[in-house]
Amino acid sequence: MKLGFIKPNYPNEKRVALLPEHINNLETDIYIEKGFGEFFNIDDKEYIQKGCKILARETLFKECQNIFSLKLIQPSDYDLLSRNHTIIGWTHPNGSGRKFMEEQAIPKDLKIVDLDNIYPRVYYKKKSFEIPFLKKNFIWKNSFMSGISATNHALLAFGLIPDQQTKVAILSSGSVSQGAFNSISKYSAEVRMFYRKTMDEFKESIDQYDIIINGIEVDVPGLHIISMDDLKRTKKNCLIIDAAADAGNAIEGTRFTYIDNPIYKENDRFFYLVNNAPSIYYKTSSVYISESFSKNIYKKDQLSKILAV
């Protein structure tokens, strides 16, 4: 049972999914890409001392059937994928990873494990299966960090410190939204949280808010939380933070942004949609990910069960 870890090459991604401090009595054979821990100033020798093998990226793809990639596999690696690969990580088959599924995963019969979800799932040959034995939302801390990171980063990029006159709406009560509330509530802003049962009330008052933060990811295409018509009724200069980074789905017509250029303006509204916002606080986020994954994923018996789904 070989599990290979590649360095994510998504723009400005610095999180490290496995730290040496969490490699204790793991039964799975761990292969690490050379320089994997560079953003933590972790030398390859520290992984070797824990029993890992260090390989160049191309060799790792050849040696390991199971590849962990924190962010979505990028086009530069497509030629390294073969029909025996299983890709594990932040794969988002119904969202940002849909194109990867259509162009790579399905044609090459890849098995895709999406862990960045309340209910982790396996995708294979146009079918998907829930992984029932994994603890529900076991990576909630990373989602919580998404809310904190996106909110703090958006406010900084927008140049705004909220005060008592700033009205804020947060959509959902999940981990992402809780992180957003944790961040925004430290200011004197007037904050309201809306849930599924009170979404109609939010829509009726949508023109009152200076900041709208979304924490909902939509699984069904076309089922928008905020439609184009809703956007037309928002305040001029409203800052809309999609902390769930569900571009075009949760908020109709939106597109991804990046850490080095996080906000765009359209129709006098400002949009933030960075889909790796936790990497802004990559050291904290990496500890959460490495610790929770070492307990739930990386053990041989657990990984074998996941791959058998």
pLDDT in tens, 77-94: 999 999 889 999 988 888
pLDDT above 80 for 160: yes
pLDDT number for residue 171: 97
* 147 within domain boundaries: yes
Tokens of 252: 């109709």
Distance between CA atoms of 300 and 19, rounded to whole angstroms? Answer: 18
pLDDT digits (tens, 9 = 90+) for 58-74: 999 999 999 999 988 99
In-domain check, residue 44? yes
Mean pLDDT across the chain, nearest whole number? 92
List, in order, residues 6 or more apart from 125 with CB less than 8 Å away. Answer: 106, 109
Check whether residue 208 and residue 257 sit in a common domain. Answer: yes
Q: What is the DSSP letter of 268?
A: T
- Which carries the bigger pLDDT value, residue 19 or residue 130? 19
User: Is the domain of 116 the same as that of 163?
Assistant: no
Neighbours of 37 (CB within 10 A): 20
Same domain for 11 and 80, yes or no, is: yes
Q: Note the pLDDT tens digit of each residue in 172-226.
A: 989 999 999 999 999 987 999 999 899 999 999 999 999 999 999 887 777 899 9
Is residue 70 included in any domain, yes or no? yes
Phi, psi of 194 (to 5 degrees): -115, 145
Same domain, 54 and 14: yes
* pLDDT, greater one: 106 or 297: 106
Asked if the model's pLDDT at residue 282 lies above 90, the reply is yes
Domain that holds residue 117: 2-132+281-308
pTM to 2 decimal places: 0.90
- The answer to whether 244 and 215 have CB atoms below 8 angstroms apart is yes
The reply to whether 6 and 105 lie within a common domain is: yes
Q: In angstroms, how far is the first alpha carbon of the chain from the final one?
A: 16
Quote the number of domains for the chain. 2
Judge whether 158 and 141 are in contact, CB under 8 Å. Answer: no
For residues 73 and 105, state if they share a domain.
Answer: yes
